Structure 1
Amino acid sequence: MNALKDHLLLEATTTCRAWIIARKDGKVYGFTDHDKAIELEGVQCLASSGLLAGTLETGTGLSVDNSEFIGALSHEVVRPDDIRLGKWDEAIVRVYILSWADQQESEIVFCGHIGEISSQDGKFFAELRSQSQLLNRVKGRLYEARCDAVLGDQRCTMKLEEHFSAAGKILEILGRSKVIVSLDRDEKDGYFSSGKLALVDNETTSFIGEIKNDRRKQWIRTLSFWKPVEADLDVGDQIRAYAGCDKSFSMCINRFDNAKNYRGFPTIPGEDWLMKRPSN
C-alpha cells in the first residue's frame, strides 16, 4: 500500500482499475479499464472488454459492501450462453487500483463474488457482493413437513436417469414457455410437473428449463415452463424429461418408494394444530 500511496501523492498519476475473476469451474479471467492489457498477479487483464465500474459502496462493521461493473460481451471471454448457463454465478472477484506503469504499485479495494449477472443489447451487467453478504445466508436445516432435498441428489438418492425420465423429441414450439413433445413413456397426466427438461446432443445432456405444467394426450405431451427458456429450440431436437416431485411424503412413497430417505418431518404439527381444542 505504501508504494501506491506514494504514487497517488504525485502531481501526475498513472492509475487504473483491474478486476480478476475466478469462476467455480477453475477458469480465471482479468479485465482492466486501461487502454492496454496489463499483467497482474500472473493474470492477463484484458483491455478490450469495454469494462466500466460503478460506484463502490463500503461501510464499517458487518454492513454489506456492493458495486457493479458493466462490460461488452466478448465471444472469447464473456458469452451470453455462459451467463445463461450460470458459469459466472458466484465467481470470486478482486478489484484493484494500480499504476499501469508499475504493476507493483497496486492495492485490493474490494473482494467478494458476483451476485446477479445478466446480458442485454451486447452488454453484460454484473453485481458485486462483498464477503459479508455470506453472513446473510441461512445455515442449517429448517424443520418442516415437506422434504428439503433436491430430487436426485445425494440426500434423495433417487436415480432419475435410469428410472424416472423419458426420452423423446420436440414436435412443436409454442413460444419460449411452452412446447409439444413426444416421449417414450406413457406416464399419467402431470407426471413431469415440477420436473426438468433437457436437450440431448451427442449423449451430452444440458438442462434448459423447469417444467411448470405437464398435460398428456396419449403419447403427446404439452410442457410449459416456469420462465422462458433461453436456449434456442428446434422441432426435432432430442430431449429428456425428468419426473417432478412436490416434496410431499405421500408422493415420496407412492411415486418413488423412497420413504427411508425422506428429508422432511411429515408428523410435525401444522398451523391448524394451534386451533384445536378439547371436544365434549
Structure 2
Amino acid sequence: MRVFFDRELDTAATFWRVYRVDGVTLGFTSHDRDLSFGGIRHQAAPGMVPAAIRLTADLSADSAEVEGVLSHDSIRAGDLAAGLFDRAAIEIGIVDWESRQWRTLYAGQLGRIESDSLSFAAELQSAKQVLERDIVPRTSPTCRAAFCGRGCGLSAYRFTSLQTLEALDLYHNRVRFPGIETSKYGDGQVRFLDGPQTGIVFGVVDAADEWLTLDRPLIQGTPPGTRAELREGCDHTLATCASRFGNAINFRGEPFLPGNDLLARYGSGA
C-alpha cells in the first residue's frame, strides 16, 4: 500500500467523491488538472479544501467539513437548494497524481450545506452518526411512526401509485397529476422517476385545487409526461388513523396524556 508523506516532497493531492441519490457520481481533486482513477474522472478544483477531518477509534462520530468555490457547473446553487445533493454519500481521500495510487481517508454522508453567491460550506456526517440517535421514544399527542413505516403496520404498496405529471408550476412550486384524489396526498410524498430531480423525495405541504405544493424547490427541465411515484399522506392524528385507515391499534402516540400545562393549574374555590 502506498505510504503518503514519507518524503519531503510528495506527489499527493486530495480528492472528493459525491454519490448522489439520483445515481450521479461527481469527483473533484485539489490538483491543478483533472485526474482519472478508480473509474471516476475527478475535476480539478483547487479552490475546494478539506477544512478539518477528525477520525476516532471509539464510537464517537467522526467529523469533517469541506469548503470551496462554486466554480463547476456540476455544483450549482440551484441544485443545492433543490435537494439534488441531499443525503449524498461522500468519500474524501488522497491520490498520487503521478502513479494514480489512492486511498480513502473519510466516508460519510452530506449533511447541512450553507452557501452564498460565491462559496459554499458542507458538513459531512460519518457512518457512526447513527449511533448518536435517541432510540427511546418520546411521548407525543400525534403518532410517532412514519406513515407505512416501522410501527405503522400499513402497506406502502397499498398507498403508493405510479402517476404521470400533467403540469408543473415553478412559480408556486407545485405539481398536478390527472385523476388523483388530491386531498389524500396532504403530508404525502412525490418522487420523480425521470428528469433532473430523479430520486428526490418531495414532501407535500398542501394539497388543494388539483395541485400538490411541495416542500423543496422544483427546477426546470421536468416536462409533462414525467413519471412519478406518489404516496398518500397522514396527519398522524388518532382520528385519521382510526376513521380513514382503521389502524388505531397501531397508533404510536398518547393523545389523551395530560400536557405540561396541567402542572401550572391550580384549584379554585366553589
Q: TM-score, normalised by structure 1?
A: 0.65
Percent identity reads: 21
Conserved in 1, the CA contact under 8 Å of 2:17 and 2:92? yes
Once the two structures are superposed, the pairs formed by residues 55-94 of structure 1 within 5 Å of their partners are: 55-57=50-52, 64-69=63-68, 72-73=72-73, 86=84, 89-94=87-92
In 1: Cα distance, 2:129 partner to 2:80 partner: 24
The alpha carbon displacement at 1:270 in A equals 1.3
SS at match of 2:16: strand
207, 211, 217: which one aligns with 2:204:
211
The alpha carbon displacement at 1:258 in A equals 0.8
Aligned residues: 258
Partner of 1:95: 93
Letter in 2 for 1:194: D
Cα deviation, 1:196-253, whole Å, max 9, x if unaligned, reads 235577xxx966632222224xxxx233233332364445666665432111112111
Q: Could you say what the CA RMSD is over the residues aligned between the two structures, in angstroms?
A: 4.7
Letter in 2 for 1:94: I
Partner of 1:195: 188
In 2: Cα distance, 1:142 partner to 1:19 partner: 38
C-alpha distance 148-161 of structure 1, shift in aligned 2 (>3 A): same
In 2: Cα distance, 1:31 partner to 1:112 partner: 16
The alpha carbon displacement at 1:151 in A equals 1.2
Conserved in 1, the CA contact under 8 Å of 2:82 and 2:217? no
Once the two structures are superposed, the pairs formed by residues 1-280 of structure 1 within 5 Å of their partners are: 3-7=3-7, 9-10=8-9, 13-20=10-17, 31-34=28-31, 35=33, 37=35, 39=37, 43-44=38-39, 46-48=41-43, 50=45, 52-57=47-52, 64-69=63-68, 72-73=72-73, 86=84, 89-96=87-94, 98-102=95-99, 110-116=106-112, 127-129=122-124, 131=126, 134=129, 137-140=132-135, 141-163=137-159, 170=166, 173=169, 175-185=171-181, 190-199=183-192, 209-216=202-209, 221-230=210-219, 232-235=221-224, 241-278=230-267, 280=270
Deviates more, 1:65-74 or 1:248-257: 65-74
In 2: Cα distance, 1:27 partner to 1:233 partner: 17
C-alpha distance 139-45 of structure 1, shift in aligned 2 (>3 A): same
The alpha carbon displacement at 1:274 in A equals 1.9
Deviates more, 1:13-22 or 1:253-262: 13-22
The alpha carbon displacement at 1:126 in A equals 6.8
The alpha carbon displacement at 1:100 in A equals 2.5
Conserved in 2, the CA contact under 8 Å of 1:143 and 1:265? yes
Conserved in 2, the CA contact under 8 Å of 1:18 and 1:45? no
Find the structure with the greater CA-based Rg. Answer: 1
Letter in 2 for 1:148: R
Gaps spanning 5+ residues in structure 2: where? none
Q: TM-score, normalised by structure 2?
A: 0.67
Conserved in 1, the CA contact under 8 Å of 2:85 and 2:110? no
C-alpha distance 112-269 of structure 1, shift in aligned 2 (>3 A): same
